[in-house]
Amino acid sequence: MSKKAPARKTGSAPSDRRQEERRTTETRRAEPRKSPAKAAPKATPDPGSGPSPLRGKEDFLLELHCEEIPARFLKLLTEDLAGRLKAWAEAQGLGALGVQVFYSPRKLAWRVLGLPTAQPDRTETQVGPPKRMCVDEAGKPTVTGQKFAEKWNVPFEALTFDLVAGKKEAVAMVVQSLPGRPTLDLLAESLPGLIAQLHVPKAMRWGASEFAFVRPIRNILCLLGEHVVPFEVDGVRSGHTTLGHRLYHREHPEPIAITDPTDYDTHLEAAGVVCSFSERRRRMKDEMEGLAWEVQGQIVKDDGLLDTLAEIVEWPKVIRGEFPADFLELPKEVLVTSLKEHQKAFCVEDAKGHLLPTFVTAANRPDDPSGFVKSGNEWVLRARLYDARFFFAEDRKVKLAARLEKLKTLTFQRELGSYADKSQRISTLAADFAARLGLDGKVAAEAGRLSKADLVTLMVGEFPELQGIMGGEYLKAEGAPQALWMAVKEQYRPMASDDAVPASDFGALLALTDKLDTLVGCFAVGLIPSGSKDPLALRRAGMGIIRILWEKGWSIKPLELAKAAFQQVKANATKGEGETLSALEAFFKDRVAFQLELAGIPPAARRSAQAVGGQDLADLKARCQALSAFAEDSRFESLGQSVKRIANILKDENPEHTVDENVLQHESERILAAHLLQLEGLTDPKAILEDLAGLAGPLAAFFEGVMVKCEDEKLRAARLSLLNRLRQAFLRVADFSQWQ
Partner 1 sequence: MHIQELILRLQRFWADRGCLIGQPYDLEKGAGTMNPLTFFGVLGDKPWNVAYVEPSRRPADGRYGENPFRVYKHLQFQVILKPSPAKVQEMYIESLEALGIDLSKHDLRFEEDNWESPTLGAWGVGWQVVLDGMEISQFTYFQQSGGLELKPVAAELTYGIERICMFLTGQDNIFDLTWGEVTTDQGVTPVTYGQVRQREEFELSAYSFEHADLKLHWDLFAAYEKEGWSLLHKHKLHLAAYEQALKMSHAFNVLDARGAVSTTERPGLIKRVRDLACACARLYLGMEVEAPQGPSGKMVVA
> Judged by CB under 8 A, does residue 379 bind partner 1?
yes
> CB-wise, 140 or 205, nearer to partner 1?
205
Rounded to an integer, what distance in angstroms lies between the CA atom of residue 298 and that of residue 289? 7
Q: For partner 1, give the closer residue by CB, 312 or 593.
A: 312
Scanning 79-87, 268-276, 290-298, 382-390 for contacts with partner 1 by CB under 8 A, the matching segment is 382-390
Under rule CB under 8 A, residue 387 binds partner 1: yes
Interface with partner 1 includes 390 (CB under 8 A)?
Answer: yes
Q: What is the DSSP letter of 78?
A: H
Q: 71-86: string of b/e by CB count within 10 Å (b at 16+)?
A: bebbebbbebbbebbb
DSSP-assigned beta bridge partners for residue 141: 135
Q: Judged by CB, which is closer to partner 1: 201, or 603? A: 201
Rounded distance, CA 312 to CA 696, Å?
A: 63
Count of residues in contact with partner 1, rule CB under 8 A: 48
Q: Is 205 in the site for partner 1 (CB under 8 A)?
A: yes
Q: How far is the CB of 364 from partner 1 (least distance, A)?
A: 5
Q: How far is the CB of 317 from partner 1 (least distance, A)?
A: 8
Neighbours of 599 (CB within 10 A): 15
Instruction: Tell me the C-alpha distance between 450 and 484, whole Å.
Output: 9
Rule CB under 8 A: is residue 357 a binding residue for partner 1? no
Q: 162: helix, coil or strand? A: strand
Q: How far apart (Å, rounded) are the C-alpha atoms in residues 516 and 562? A: 7
In 414-536, where do the E strands start and end?
417-418
- Burial code (b: 16+ CB inside 10 Å, e: under 16) for 158-197 equals ebebeeeeeeeebbbbbeeeebbbbbbebbbebbeebbee
Contact call for residue 164 and partner 1 (CB under 8 A): no
* Residue 420 DSSP label: H
Site for partner 1 in 243-282 (CB under 8 A): 246-247, 250
**Separation of alpha carbons 28 and 118, rounded Å:** 12
Site for partner 1, residues 106 to 135, rule: CB under 8 A: none
- Does 239 contact partner 1 by CB under 8 A? no
Dist. CA 689–CA 695, nearest whole Å: 10
* Residues 340, 134 contacting (CB under 8 angstroms): no
Q: Is 567 in the site for partner 1 (CB under 8 A)?
A: no
Which span (2-10, 197-205, 636-644, 695-703) binds partner 1, by CB under 8 A?
197-205
Among 94, 363, 672, 688, binds partner 1 (CB under 8 A): 363
Binding status of residue 410 toward partner 1 by CB under 8 A = yes
- CB–CB of 587/524 below 8 Å? no
Which H or E run contains 165? Answer: none
Binding of partner 1 at residue 361 (CB under 8 A)? yes
The answer to the question of residue 398 lying near partner 1 (CB under 8 A) is no
Minimum CB separation of residue 367 from partner 1 in Å reads 10
DSSP type of residue 709: S
- Angle CA 619–625–631, to nearest 5: 135
Q: Which is nearer to partner 1, 375 or 497 (CB)?
A: 375
Near partner 1 by CB under 8 A: residue from 17, 22, 140, 202: 202
Query: Of 310-329, which residues contact partner 1 (CB under 8 A)?
Result: 312-313
Question: Within positions 210 to 229, which residues make up the interface with partner 1, using CB under 8 A?
Answer: 210, 215-216, 218
| C-alpha–C-alpha distance, residues 717 and 714, integer Å | 5
Q: Which residues bind partner 1 (CB under 8 A)?
A: 67-68, 70-72, 105, 202, 204-210, 215-216, 218, 246-247, 250, 312-313, 343, 345, 361, 363-365, 368-370, 372-373, 375-377, 379-383, 386-387, 390, 409-411, 414
